[in-house]
Amino acid sequence: MAELGRIILTEQQIQSRVRDLGNEITRDYKNTPFVAIGILKGAFLFLGDLAKQIDTEMCFDFMATSSYGRGTTTSGEVRIIKDLDDSIEGRHVLVVEDIIDTGLTLNYLLEVLRKRGPASLKVCCLLDKPSRRQVPVQIDYVGFEIPDVFVVGYGLDCAEVYRNLPYIASLKT
């Protein structure tokens, strides 16, 4: 198992920013019910905390994709492992991601979702790594921009370990 490096974001920093994002989303979706789609497994903690900060009508669905396998770099091939339970046709949709890196996974996912006819489609991510971007993607709500380091904690993992940390840390190389 890889060893933890330095703490990049503390639990307090994360929770403060999640509150702010919840307020922004509440303002933007006031009187507009929407579906929050959590991208598993990484976004589950973020979505849970974010939902508690949103004061407007919403419901949840989940998708799971894979592009990393058990490594620390993307394979470039995206697979949908778990699809939505309900239709999004004509509904307002907010995709909630843990981290956006190359943009390949999110770009693929957004193409799939657009074909399903949502009324609107926005993206909220906890972490953004623009220095690694290979394809342009529109991100409507960003928690934090981070440097090009592999991070774990608060839902993010390395070979399925470290998701339970309340903070985000780098891994020692």
**Interatomic CA distance for residues 64 and 45, integer angstroms:** 14
Task: Choose among 134, 80, 69, 85: nearest CA to 110.
Answer: 80
Structure tokens, 1: 């198992």
Q: For the segment 58-68, what is each residue's pLDDT rounded down to a tens digit?
A: 999 999 988 75
DSSP helix/strand/coil, 18? helix
Segment holding 158, helix H or strand E: none
Catalytic (active-site) positions: 101
pLDDT at 88: 98
pTM exceeds 0.85 = yes
Chain CA centroid to CA 38, Å: 7
Q: Residue 77's pLDDT band (boundaries 50, 70, 90)?
A: confident
Task: Choose among 50, 134, 133, 64: nearest CA to 94.
Answer: 50
Average pLDDT over residues 70-81: 67
CATH class of 4-171: alpha beta
